Structures are given as structure tokens and as C-alpha cells.
Structure 1
Amino acid sequence: MLTNRQLQILQVIVDDFVTSAQPVGSRQISKKDWITFSPATIRNEMADLEELGFLEKTHTSSGRVPSEKGYRFYVDHLLQPQIIQADEANQIQSVFKQQMIEMEQLIRESANILSELTTYTTILLGPDVQQHKVKKFQIVPLTEQSAVAIIVTDNGHVENRLLTLPNGFSPSDIEKMVNILNDRLTGVPLQELHLKLEVEALEILKQHVKTADTVIQSLLNVSTGQKEGKIYYGGKTNMLNQPEFHDLNKIRMLMDLMDKESQLQSLFKPKDKGIQIRIGSENNHMAMENCSVITAPFSVGEEQYGAIAIIGPTRMDYKRVVTLLDMMRNGLSRALTKP
């Protein structure tokens, strides 16, 4: 168990190192207004904290930096949420005030805003769109031979498919087809749409629209899309600006990982409904050993979840990121579960 004096010193070292990326010395700590003990006492306590594994000494300075164990203790026991400035809170809320915004656009803009406010990399894992249910079909003619089919789901996901129209396919044929599709397929999950189109809707369409086969073949493609939630990036190259990642091998490994969406799905998907913080080796991936990842789920309807992950160096501003992340995930959940 750490003493109150050791707790104060550890907190100052973490906070100062997060800000400066420079080792923190005893003299620097002693200048804090709320620190009442001498540099000699501070040096002794720093030595004890290093022996306990909470601090590390660099080769280039007499100062100390937090170890992975020190960061973990700080996160678990000393972390206090930061008060966010009004203009930053307004920036987050602005994305949720937009009218008729599609789910993909909302998630993409949320990722960009978080990356701007934190200066780190943001990854948003969208929910599995194949579980979305059809809410509405539309077919919009483009030319005499082509049209676009628009499928809107219950969670705001939009699928667009370009259709080829047979010769003589009239506006009334389009209207009949739309009415039948909406009647038969509303409420059907996208993952079941292929089967429902082929088995149920096609036979009825043939009875009312003689040349429906060609159009339906295009629509059958809607259920062949991705089977996992889509990944959205914000500030993908922000890590290049962090001094810890001036090593080309480190940044190359991290960038390679970000191109492997299946690995990102397993790495960053939250294990429960709370905010989680993984530091360095806790990420169980060589490319992430110098990174911290803070993840949080957001709800999309009653049963589906997406996730936000913010990636930064282990020298991350945890208290700021946790507060911003919590504000954003709550906003997303409210926006995406609205009736």
C-alpha cells in the first residue's frame, strides 16, 4: 500500500509526464504549490516507487517516468474525470443536432471530432449491419434503363444498389414493385433478405410485374455485404505526431495493424458495457506494446452495440480522454436509439 506522500508524487509524475513527455525530477515536483516536502524527501520516495515498480529511470536524465505498473495504478486509483470546456462539449453535441443524418455519417463525424479533441487516433466499430431490419424500400429511376434501389433499416443504415431496368419497365411497374417489397420485406433482417427475396417476394412480383426477374437479380446483392460492423477511423495518422512513435518500425507495425480489420474487431471490441483501459502489454499485441487503448460501447437499439476505441501512447491524457469518450458514447447511444 502506498503512503499518501507516495500517491501525491506518483500522481504529479504521471500528470507532468503526460504533458511534457520529459522525465520528471524531484526539483520539478517540489515547485508544485501543494507539495510541502523537500527535494531530498521526494528523491527518497521516488527511489522507493522505482523499487516497487511504479516508476522507471531513463538513461538520459535523473528524472523518472511512469512504468506500465505505475500507469495502471494511476488509472485504477488516482484517475479523476476532467472538466471539459464548454466549446469542446458543444463540438461533441453539434453532431447530434443535425437533422436526418444517416448512421454511417454520424459515426464517421463522431470519430473525426474525437480525434481532433484528443489528438489521438479514434476507431469506431459500427454494429453488425446484417442484423438491421428493413424499414423501407425505395426505387428511384435514373434513366430508362437504370435505377437505384435504396434500402433503409430500422437503425438508420442505408444500402444503395444500382439496378438495370428491362426495356419497357414503366413507372407503374416500379410503384408495384416498391409496394410489394415494402409489404413483404419490412422487418426482415438484412442477413435474411436474400432468402426472403428469392423465396417469397420473387413469386409475388412475377404475378404482378412480368419483367421483375432482371431487377430482382440486382436486389439479391444487398445481403452479400460485410458480416461484421464497419470500421471508421478518425486521425489515423495522429500517432505519427507522438514522440514515442518517431521510431519507423513502431509506427509501421501500428499502421499495418490498422489495415487488418478482423484483428481490430477482436482487439477493440469491449468485453462489457463499461469503459475499459488497456495499457501496453495488456493489449496482447506487439504493435500495441507502446500504446494505451480506451474502449467504450455505445448502444444501437435495444440489442446491438458498437464500440469506440481511442489509441494513444501509454503517456496518454487518461482523465481527459475518459471524459470525452464517455460524453461521446452517451450521445451516440441517445442518437442511435431514438424512435
Structure 2
Amino acid sequence: MLSTRQLFILQVIIDEFIQTAQPIGSRAISKKDEVSFSPATIRNEMADLESLGFLEKTHSSSGRVPSEKGYRYYVDHLLMPIDLSPRDEQTISGVFNQGMVEFEQVIQNSVNVLSDLTNYTSIILGPEVYATTLKQIQIIHLSKTTAVAILVTNTGHVEHRSFTIPKEINPLDLEKLVNILNERLIGVPIIQLPNRLQMELTSIIDHYVKDVATAFKYLKGALLDQQPNNIYVGGITNMLLQPEFSDVAKIHSLYSVIEQEETMASILRSQDQGIHISIGQENKVTEMQDCSLITATYTLKGQQIGTIALLGPKRMEYSRVISLLERLSNDMTKTFKNW
């Protein structure tokens, strides 16, 4: 159990190291206005904190730096919530006040704003296909032989595919098909649409549409062949601004992981609802073990549909980052709810 004085000194050291990225010595701490202890007293307490595993001594300096254990204790017990600055508030509000009509615009703007505000790498997992449901299907005829199939989801995502209408298909049959699908499939998860189309509605549609097999083929091909890219990344080169990442080989390995969309999607998908912080070795991916990853989830009707994350050095500005992520996740949840 740490004493009150040790807790205070540990917090001062970590707060200072977050800002400077320089090893902290006892004399530097003693000069702070809020510190009333002598350098000798601080030095003794720092030695005890080191022996307990909360601090580490660097090879190039007599100062100490926080260990991963120290960061974890800081995050769990010493971290104080902070209010966002008016600038931060205004910047985040601006993401949602631009009259955007598709969720990709909201997410892309959000990921860019987060990376700009923090100088960290921001990553957002867009609404998951299993949590996304059908809102509407439309067919717009461009000419006698071409049309655009449009699928709209409950999250505001719009998929559209142009296709050629074969001579054997009556345009009226396509319209009948779309009307039946809208009656029967509204609210069905997108991932279930192919099976529902094939297994449950074939006999119903066959009664109204002459060439049901061909109509299915073109409609499914137009709407369901591709899923939207769910991973959005901003500020991928921001890691180069951090002194911890001067090793070119190490940063190259980290970039390679970030660019693996399936890996990043799996990491973000596994995060618990709410705010979650992984520090150093707590990250299961080896290339990310010199980093901290802070995530926040956003929901639709109480169900988690996506994740917002910031990846940075272990000396991240935890209080500010958590406040930013909480604000953004709340605004994103409200946005999808009201879409």
C-alpha cells in the first residue's frame, strides 16, 4: 500500500513525464509549486517507488520514468477527469453540425478531428454489418437498359450499384420485387439478407415476378456483393512526432499492423462497452506493446455497433483523451439514434 506522499509524488512524476517525455529527477520535482518536500525526501520516495515497480531508471539519465505498472496504477487510481477546453468542444461539435447525410462522412471527419486534436493515431471501427439493418431498397431507372440499385441502412449508410437490365427482365417486375422486399425485409440485419431472400421469399416473389431467378441474380449482385470498408484511420504518421518512436524498424512494424484492417477490426471489436485502456504489454499484438490504446464504444438502441480508438505512446494524456472519446462516442450514439 502506497503512502499518501508516495501517491502524490507518483502522480507528479507521471503528469510531468506525459508533458516532457524526459526522465524526472528529484530536484526538478522539488521546484514545483505544489511540492513541499525536500529533494532528499523525494529521492528516497522515488527509490521506494522504483523498488515497488512503479518507476524505472533509464540508462542515460539519473532520473526516473513511469513503468507500465506505474501507468496502470495512475489510470486506475490517480486519474482525474477533466472538462474539455472550449476549442475541443467546438471542434467536436463541428463534426456533427455540417448536415452530412452518410455515416462515412461523420466517421471520416471524426477520425481526422481526433488525430488533429491529439497528435495520436485515431482509428474508428464503423457500424458492424451484423448490427446494421435494412431501412429501404430503391431502384432508379436511368434508361431502358440501365438502373441504380440503392440500399439504405438504419445507420444512414447508403450503398448504390449501377447495373444493366437484361432484355428478358420486365422493368415492372423489378419494381414489384423491390416493393415486396421493402414490405418483408425492413429491419432485417444486412448480413441475413441473402439467406432471407433465397430461403423465405422465393415462393412469394415467384407468384408475382415471372423470371424470379434472373431478377434475384441482378438485385443481389447489385446490392450485396460488397460490404463497406469498416476501418477508418487518421494521423497514421503522428507516431513519428513522438520521441518514443524514433526506431524506424519498430515504427514500420507498427504501421504494418495498423494497415491490416482485419487485425485492427478484430482488436477493436473485442473491446468491452464503454471506455477501455490497454497499456504496453496488455496489448496482445506484439507490435503495439510500446503503445497505449484507449477505446470507447458507440451504440444503437443499446447495442454496441462500433468502436473509437486512439493509439499513442504509453505517456498519453489519459484524462484529456478519455474526455474526448467520451464526448465523441456520446455524440456519435445520438447521431445514429436520430438518423
TM-score normalised by L of structure 2: 0.90
Structure 1: where are the runs of 5+ without partners? none
State the alpha-carbon separation in 1 of the partners of residues 39 and 289 from structure 2: 33
CA deviations over 1:252-290 (Å, ceiling 9, x no partner): 221111122332233233543231111100112210111
Tell whether 2:192 aligns with 1:192.
yes
Letter in 2 for 1:59: H
State the alpha-carbon separation in 1 of the partners of residues 98 and 204 from structure 2: 39
- Label 1:185 to 1:316 Cα distance change in 2 as closer, same or farther (>3 A): same
State the alpha-carbon separation in 2 of the partners of residues 324 and 68 from structure 1: 23
Instruction: Indicate if the aligned counterparts of 1:277 and 1:295 stay in contact, CA closer than 8 A.
Output: yes
Instruction: Indicate if the aligned counterparts of 2:169 and 2:215 stay in contact, CA closer than 8 A.
Output: no
SS of aligned partner of 1:97: coil
Letter in 2 for 1:37: F
Moved over 6 A (4+): 168-171
State the alpha-carbon separation in 2 of the partners of residues 216 and 171 from structure 1: 13
Letter in 2 for 1:218: Y
Residue of structure 2 equivalent to 1:149: 149
Residue of structure 2 equivalent to 1:75: 75
Instruction: Indicate if the aligned counterparts of 1:124 and 1:232 stay in contact, CA closer than 8 A.
Output: yes
Instruction: Indicate if the aligned counterparts of 1:270 and 1:276 stay in contact, CA closer than 8 A.
Output: no
More displaced 10-residue stretch of structure 1: 125-134 or 203-212 = 203-212
Residue of structure 2 equivalent to 1:264: 264
SS of aligned partner of 2:312: strand
State the alpha-carbon separation in 2 of the partners of residues 5 and 304 from structure 1: 41
Instruction: Indicate if the aligned counterparts of 1:229 and 1:306 stay in contact, CA closer than 8 A.
Output: no
Letter in 2 for 1:60: S
More displaced 10-residue stretch of structure 1: 24-33 or 137-146 = 137-146
Residue of structure 1 equivalent to 2:110: 110
Tell whether 2:3 aligns with 1:3.
yes
Instruction: Indicate if the aligned counterparts of 1:302 and 1:337 stay in contact, CA closer than 8 A.
Output: no
State the alpha-carbon separation in 1 of the partners of residues 131 and 318 from structure 2: 34
Tell whether 2:215 aligns with 1:233.
no
CA deviations over 1:12-66 (Å, ceiling 9, x no partner): 1111111111111122111111111112221121112111111111122111111
- Label 1:100 to 1:249 Cα distance change in 2 as closer, same or farther (>3 A): closer
State the alpha-carbon separation in 1 of the partners of residues 163 and 334 from structure 2: 35
* TM-fit CA distance, 1:313: 0.6
State the alpha-carbon separation in 2 of the partners of residues 87 and 230 from structure 1: 29
SS of aligned partner of 1:2: coil
* TM-fit CA distance, 1:192: 2.4
Residue of structure 1 equivalent to 2:20: 20
Residue of structure 1 equivalent to 2:163: 163
State the alpha-carbon separation in 1 of the partners of residues 155 and 241 from structure 2: 36
Letter in 2 for 1:305: I
Aligned residues: 338
Instruction: Indicate if the aligned counterparts of 1:25 and 1:62 stay in contact, CA closer than 8 A.
Output: yes
Letter in 1 for 2:305: Y
* TM-fit CA distance, 1:127: 3.0
Residue of structure 1 equivalent to 2:133: 133
More displaced 10-residue stretch of structure 1: 182-191 or 193-202 = 193-202
CA-atom RMSD in angstroms: 2.5
State the alpha-carbon separation in 1 of the partners of residues 187 and 276 from structure 2: 34
State the alpha-carbon separation in 1 of the partners of residues 220 and 174 from structure 2: 17
Instruction: Indicate if the aligned counterparts of 1:26 and 1:63 stay in contact, CA closer than 8 A.
Output: yes
CA deviations over 1:207-232 (Å, ceiling 9, x no partner): 55556654532321334445x98211
Residue of structure 2 equivalent to 1:337: 337
Letter in 2 for 1:119: N
State the alpha-carbon separation in 2 of the partners of residues 100 and 24 from structure 1: 47
State the alpha-carbon separation in 1 of the partners of residues 338 and 211 from structure 2: 39
More displaced 10-residue stretch of structure 1: 19-28 or 90-99 = 90-99
Tell whether 2:237 aligns with 1:245.
no
CA deviations over 1:81-100 (Å, ceiling 9, x no partner): 22211121111122223335
Residue of structure 1 equivalent to 2:217: 217
SS of aligned partner of 1:196: helix
Residue identity (%)? 51
Letter in 2 for 1:98: Q
Instruction: Indicate if the aligned counterparts of 2:135 and 2:186 stay in contact, CA closer than 8 A.
Output: yes
- Label 1:150 to 1:336 Cα distance change in 2 as closer, same or farther (>3 A): same
CA deviations over 1:174-231 (Å, ceiling 9, x no partner): 54443333223323322222233335555655655556654532321334445x9821
SS of aligned partner of 1:293: strand
Letter in 2 for 1:246: S
Residue of structure 2 equivalent to 1:328: 328
Residue of structure 2 equivalent to 1:101: 101
State the alpha-carbon separation in 2 of the partners of residues 271 and 126 from structure 1: 14
State the alpha-carbon separation in 2 of the partners of residues 72 and 210 from structure 1: 65
Letter in 1 for 2:254: L
Letter in 2 for 1:154: N
- Label 1:337 to 1:229 Cα distance change in 2 as closer, same or farther (>3 A): farther
Instruction: Indicate if the aligned counterparts of 1:164 and 1:215 stay in contact, CA closer than 8 A.
Output: no
* TM-fit CA distance, 1:67: 0.8
Instruction: Indicate if the aligned counterparts of 1:134 and 1:189 stay in contact, CA closer than 8 A.
Output: yes
